[in-house]
Amino acid sequence: MILTEVADVLNMRMASIDTWEWEADVPVEQRRQLNGTHHIFIDEELLQAIFLQFIGVKWSVFFKRAFTTFSNSEGAWASLRQPISIEEKKRREFYIGWESQKPSIQSKRQGLFKSIYFMSQLPNSEYDNQTIEEGEEEAQYDTRKPSKKAKQTAGMGLPMPQIPPQMQQMPMMQMKEYGIDADIKFSIQSAARPYSSGAPHPEYDLEDPLKTPKSPMATKQFLLHLLSTEILVNTKLHGDFTVTRSEFQSWNPSLPHSTIHSVLSFFGLSDKWLRFFHKFLETPLKFVSDGISTEARLRKRGAPAAHVSGHFL
């Protein structure tokens, strides 16, 4: 009965999303993580958090499916694998005999990238659980020489590579044609469905969706396994192998709202949803430590890092 009442209230908010506003100033708190870094969290009231989480998940799933469909289109994604003509295949079979049509290494790489790492920060469905468990954050390594005491207390660690979403230039898509408005509705039936645990399976099987890495940490660990394989293969074939890592930082606090608005407009979001995301980004924030009398300030740049809508944007 309580869940039904909650769903009714949230559906009323969804019906009046054109006039949605932040109901009050949102408290902001800076919290220290286990890895030593500090993250900024906004603490809106519970129904507001559920409302924003639901919208963020819906749009994240929708865009990931749209991007995946586009990337599978012919000519949308450049391949490092050179096509082999039928004449060349016949010539090869004439000299060395018939061979089974096994996938090449490059096609295997592309399959791994598409199935695990393409848009990996966005959920595959509304029931994916991609939250990072406590203690799974990456450690921040200081390049300065540690003190004697730090050497004695330091633990063993291995920096995990982070893969940013790889984006291609997309054509304009009119989202209203897909009927996403009809899909966004709260129901009690969805609350009864179980979430995936996200625990990594001891043996990965890319043909079985249940045995692919689910959590962010399992995805990074699988990337290290791929890296080890690439080192073995390339050093055997070419003698050496170079690995580079690019880490993009500060996107959440620094991304201009005008850029977000331009990209969403390019993809064809309606004025209703553009207004909503504009209001969502311009949150009236107030630090808890500043006291009650402090005036709230509107966020003019960046998206909230602790929200699925922030990841989506």
Task: Report pLDDT for 165.
Answer: 43
Average pLDDT of the segment spanning 276-289: 89
All structural domains of the chain with their residue ranges: 2-74+116-131+160-312
Kindly write down the DSSP assignment for every residue of 29-76, as one continuous string.
EEEE-TTS-EEEEE---HHHHHHHHHHHHHHHHHHHHHHHHHHTSTTS
Average pLDDT of the segment spanning 243-263: 85
CA–CA dist 20, 33 (Å, integer): 33
Question: Can you point out the beta strands (E) in 178-301?
Answer: 284-287, 297-298
Task: Report pLDDT for 92.
Answer: 86
pLDDT of 72 over the 80 cut: yes
Task: Report pLDDT for 184.
Answer: 59
pLDDT tens sequence across 296-305: 888 888 888 7
Task: Report pLDDT for 138.
Answer: 53
pLDDT of 197 over the 70 cut: no
Q: Which of 44-48, 55-59, 154-158, 200-204 has the highest mean pLDDT?
A: 55-59
214/158: higher pLDDT: 214
Predicted model pTM: 0.70
pLDDT of 157 over the 60 cut: no
pLDDT of 264 over the 50 cut: yes
Task: Report pLDDT for 200.
Answer: 40
Average pLDDT of the segment spanning 1-18: 91
The H helix count followed by the E strand count for the chain is 12, 4
Confidence of residue 58 (pLDDT cuts 50, 70, 90): very high
CA nearest to 284, candidates 22, 18, 48, 92: 22
CA–CA dist 297, 285 (Å, integer): 5
Q: How many CA atoms lie within 13 A of 313 on its CB side?
A: 34
